Structure 1
Amino acid sequence: MVFPYAPTPGNDGPAGDTYAVALVRAGDAEPVTAVLRRLRFTGWAGAPESGWLPVIAAGGTVAAGRRGIVEVGAELAGTVLVVRVLRDRQLALVAWSDGEELGRYVSDPSREPGAEDDVLDDPLGVPHAAAFAQVAGRPDRADDLAGLLGDRLDPELVNESERLAAILRLLDLPTWLVAVATLPRDIPTGPRARELTRFGFGLPGVRGKVLDRAARPVRRRRTPPPVIADPPSGGGMDPWLL
């Protein structure tokens, strides 16, 4: 499962996996399913596990209105945490509670698709670690999370999936999320593909596959909005610290 766009290339080792998941605090899948149908979502939805229901993207633009996984997450009610990894070179987190956005984090804004050449590569949104930890139900681990988010990784030695795996362990979230790029094959250490509901253009089954196949060329040409719209460049101040 590869997104139809890539971050700015660099001479720092081979690119890795790209994947994105929205974790929804839910005991009932039906309200989530209703939103995915309305948005004409393409991807997978799992059953609730330890109170979290995973919604897994199958591309960059995965829903109507040029929505990526972040925009889909914003439409889901309740407590939502979105994680997105691009080629193992960028990690993004976004959290909501009852429709209110709590914070956004990007490990390296310069790797956002379409980013300007002078965008800084410093992590943005580290101060929102407390909000992410609160959403995950582990407010006591906010300081440790801030340390993980603030690290500048050497891409020759560590990739963003490794950072994400550490975050998931710290917050007691499903660690198999780092392996969802194997879909439509079974997820190592996670649910089998047949245990997930596959949506195509908001519908399960054959009709959904047909509609998704027809919409795919258009969606591939329309990349989602950046996670952070105006990252600092050329020595500007981090707007998330204001």
Structure 2
Amino acid sequence: MAIPPMGGFSGSVGGPSGYSYGAVALAGGADAVPEVEEALRAIRFTGWVVPPRDGWLIVLGTPGAGVVASRRRGIIEVGEELAARVAGPVFAFRVRQDRQLGIVAWSLGAEVGRFCSDPSREPDADTDILAEPVGIGAAGAFGQVAGRPEAIAPLTELLGERFQYPWSVFESERLRDVLRLLAMPDWLVAAAELPRDIPTGPRARELTRVRVGRPGARGLAADWFVRRVRRERTPPPVIADPPREWMASLDDIEPWML
């Protein structure tokens, strides 16, 4: 994975500015849109729905890695809700300040894989949480669910990459490579540009704007209040119980010493 130099990274794909954004990708066409919109209305989702293209229906959360739906749901929890209502594969992607990448996939409503590039980047994370990828083995499930078994090996290598210097990590770059391996739209890495047009992706006018579950102007009044409340909250971490330093130290202890 190419690591761009500091100061020379295009804002359209994240970078030093620390962009945060998230998306849910559902396999399906136009026939899935009414069911998805109904589900988003039920959970009072705020973001955009992208018209189906190339077999994928995309739901974009309001830029940021925060709460985008009721009951403290972030974009990953929105993906879980949608996966429970649709039959096809569902993926959720979340980038936090371009220093953390989270990926979760579901098939037939059941979670099949979960990955986080650095659990220590979660807000209020304990200081003993290890700053290393968790869930690299989920690459196999990601490839199978996306119908790209040939991508499993390179995807495993990509998810397992570690970086010597924290400032060299640009998770939008990793996500873009993941999306290309899974044959998904790689313009998702520019979702932080919303509500403006997305570089290399759809125009803003092509998207359905949803505020607190309601399209268009109907959600404007409620959105002002709800947005202020959600801004003070954070969604659940990608990995609920990440590895910690004391766990890693146990690997150096011989069984007879326990």
TM-score (norm 2): 0.84
Aligned length: 225
Query: What do you get for the CA RMSD once the two structures are aligned?
Result: 1.4
* Contact 1:81–1:135 (CA under 8 A) maintained in structure 2: no
AA aligned opposite 1:140: E
AA aligned opposite 2:197: D
What are the Cα deviations for residues 135-174 of structure 1, in whole angstroms up to 9, with x where unaligned?
A: 2210111011000000013443341111111111112110
Q: For residues 218 and 211 of structure 2, what CA distance do their matches in structure 1 show?
A: 8
Q: Which runs of 5+ in 1 are unaligned?
A: 1-12, 238-242
1:50-65, aligned counterparts within 5 Å? 50-58=54-62, 59=64, 60-65=66-71
* CA distance 1:231–1:15, shift in 2 (3 Å): farther
* Contact 1:15–1:89 (CA under 8 A) maintained in structure 2: no
How big is the shift at 1:132?
0.7
Instruction: Answer yes or no: is 1:25 the counterpart of 2:35.
Output: no
Q: For residues 192 and 75 of structure 2, what CA distance do their matches in structure 1 show?
A: 14
Tell me, what secondary structure is at the counterpart of 1:228? Answer: coil
User: Equivalent residue for 1:143?
Assistant: 153
User: Equivalent residue for 2:3?
Assistant: none
1:36-115, aligned counterparts within 5 Å? 36-58=40-62, 59=64, 60-76=66-82, 77-78=86-87, 79-115=89-125
User: Equivalent residue for 1:132?
Assistant: 142
AA aligned opposite 1:16: G
Q: Among all aligned residue pairs of Structure 1 and Structure 2, give the percentage whose two residues are the same amino acid.
A: 56
Pick one of 179, 192, 200 that aligns with 2:211: 200
TM-score (norm 1): 0.89
AA aligned opposite 1:193: A
User: Equivalent residue for 1:163?
Assistant: 174
Larger radius of gyration: 2
Q: For residues 187 and 166 of structure 2, what CA distance do their matches in structure 1 show?
A: 22
Q: For residues 61 and 71 of structure 1, what CA distance do their matches in structure 2 show?
A: 9
Q: For residues 206 and 155 of structure 1, what CA distance do their matches in structure 2 show?
A: 42
Tell me, what secondary structure is at the counterpart of 1:121? Answer: coil
AA aligned opposite 1:46: V
Q: Which runs of 5+ in 2 are unaligned?
A: 1-14, 249-258
How big is the shift at 1:235?
3.8
* Contact 1:94–1:103 (CA under 8 A) maintained in structure 2: yes
Q: For residues 103 and 172 of structure 1, what CA distance do their matches in structure 2 show?
A: 18
Q: For residues 42 and 151 of structure 1, what CA distance do their matches in structure 2 show?
A: 33
Tell me, what secondary structure is at the counterpart of 1:194? Answer: helix
AA aligned opposite 1:74: E
* Contact 2:98–2:169 (CA under 8 A) maintained in structure 1: no
